[in-house]
Copies of this chain bind each other. A is one copy, B any other.
């Protein structure tokens, strides 16, 4: 057995989500999260750049999933199809892995403006990387950026609807539906 309990980072994430869900984001201090995980405040900030980041530990993984989906799309696909492939990859990941925790996490985020800001920033980061991938495929600007940003808008709205929907619907289906709506909007209907 090691000198410390293993997976400090994971314990911090669990503790944070539980406390945030209980009392709300700004009614919980970093020191409390750390204490619940059997650690100190200083260690909390070694694992996470700021208090908000503790809720976005999986975002790196999601980023990779999206990028993998995008680069794996057929060479003949148009920009929006390529983006859609990335969205499908993201949706399958978010929708299948611990649905209960995903929903709880989304509820916490939606309840706090600072956390919503951070979520938007993450999505924007994905968008700029997807745009870069599109450019590597030969898509010019500003088309690449717009396709990527529109795609992230689809993901964002689907996430919102998925989290607040009373009935249990698959996230992937919602993404598909929203993509269709986006096309319809652009066509002028």
Name A residues whose Cβ lies closer than 8 Å to a Cβ of B. Answer: 78-81, 113, 116-118, 120-121, 124, 141-143, 145-147, 149-150, 153-154, 156-158, 161, 177-178, 181-189
Smallest CB–CB gap between A142 and chain B, Å? Answer: 5
Which B residues are in CB contact (< 8 Å) with A189? 78-79
On whether the beta carbons of A188 and B81 are closer than 8 Å, the reply is yes
Which B residues are in CB contact (< 8 Å) with A79? 185, 189
Which among B78, B113, B117, B187 is the interface contact of A120 at CB below 8 angstroms? B117
Which among B150, B154, B181 is the interface contact of A185 at CB below 8 angstroms? B150
Number of copies: 2
Smallest CB–CB gap between A181 and chain B, Å? Answer: 5
In the docked arrangement, what's the CA distance between A79 and B182, Å? 11
On whether the beta carbons of A178 and B78 are closer than 8 Å, the reply is no
Which among B118, B141, B156, B182 is the interface contact of A186 at CB below 8 angstroms? B182
Which B residues are in CB contact (< 8 Å) with A120? 117, 120-121, 124
Which B residues are in CB contact (< 8 Å) with A184? 143
In the complex, what residue of chain B is closest to A189 when comparing beta carbons? Answer: B78
Smallest CB–CB gap between A86 and chain B, Å? Answer: 14
In the complex, what residue of chain B is closest to A156 when comparing beta carbons? Answer: B149
In the docked arrangement, what's the CA distance between A177 and B184, Å? 20
In the assembled complex, 7 residue pairs joining A and B whose CB atoms fall closer than 8 Å, in A order, are A78-B189, A80-B186, A116-B124, A142-B157, A142-B161, A143-B181, A149-B150
